[in-house]
Amino acid sequence: MGLAGYYRRFIKYFSSIAKPITQLTQKNAPCIWTEACEDSFIELKKRLTSALVLIIHSGKSNAAADALSRKDAQKEDQGIQKSVEMVKSGHQSEYKVSADDILYVNNRLVVQNVSDLKQLILKEAHCSKYSIHQGGRKMYNDLKNHYWWKHMKSDVTEYVSRCLNCQQVKAERKKPDGLLQSLPIPE
């Protein structure tokens, strides 16, 4: 199973899904690729390449993914509901509504206007051990591939500017002062 086993804590029922493939690795077991192995492989590949597994990695709890995965979470935001109704009536072509009434803009999930949720997404994208304080531009480019909310770029910039670790390692962008000048020796 190799590297896929590393992501087992991010995939629900990983052991059950991977069982046919895992059985191939047992001692004295014949290595015969069956239909069950193929189905298992395809399902694992699908789950390993999903946005939430690739983007949001959290160790003990994954509050941002939990909040985003609630199907009725967007229904709490009046602005999103207004956009959903406009899409259903044939307006706003850049927006799409999935079969379970989740709103997307240009294939990016629309995040409801909840400050705590946005802060969780920003924290996990910036401070997790997989992203290593990557800076504002890189963080924004990564997030904009999967999420959208109003003023997202300014929220990312503000979040990174408040990160103490980033400020301590930030390279100075000013010219050096020049050569050192010797001071006169006092008499």
Percentage of the chain modeled with pLDDT above 70: 76
Assigned domain for 119 exists: yes
Q: What confidence score (pLDDT) does residue 39 get?
A: 92
Q: What confidence score (pLDDT) does residue 156 get?
A: 92
Residue 115 has pLDDT above 90, yes or no: no
Answer yes or no: do 156 and 124 share one domain: yes
- Residues 151-160, mean pLDDT to the nearest whole number: 92
Would you call 174 exposed, middle or buried from its count of C-beta atoms within 10 A (0-12, 13-18, 19+)?
exposed
Q: Select the highest-mean-pLDDT range: 60-64, 122-126, 173-177.
A: 122-126
CATH of the domain at 122: 1.10.340.70
Binning pLDDT at 50, 70 and 90, where does residue 58 land?
Answer: very low
Assigned domain for 184 exists: no
Residue 76 has pLDDT above 60, yes or no: yes
Q: What confidence score (pLDDT) does residue 57 get?
A: 45
- Residues 157-164, mean pLDDT to the nearest whole number: 88
Number of domains in the chain: 2
- Residues 16-42, mean pLDDT to the nearest whole number: 87
Give the domain extent around 25. Answer: 2-49
Answer yes or no: do 86 and 163 share one domain: yes
- Residues 146-163, mean pLDDT to the nearest whole number: 90
Assigned domain for 43 exists: yes
Answer yes or no: do 44 and 96 share one domain: no
Quote the CA–CA distance of 88 and 122 in Å, as a whole number.
30
| Single pTM value for the model | 0.53
Answer yes or no: do 104 and 144 share one domain: yes
Q: What confidence score (pLDDT) does residue 68 get?
A: 56
Assigned domain for 178 exists: no
pLDDT in tens, 142-153: 889 889 999 999
Q: What confidence score (pLDDT) does residue 173 get?
A: 67
Residue 156 vs residue 132, higher pLDDT = 156
Q: What confidence score (pLDDT) does residue 170 get?
A: 66
Answer yes or no: do 67 and 45 share one domain: no
Residue 174 has pLDDT above 50, yes or no: yes
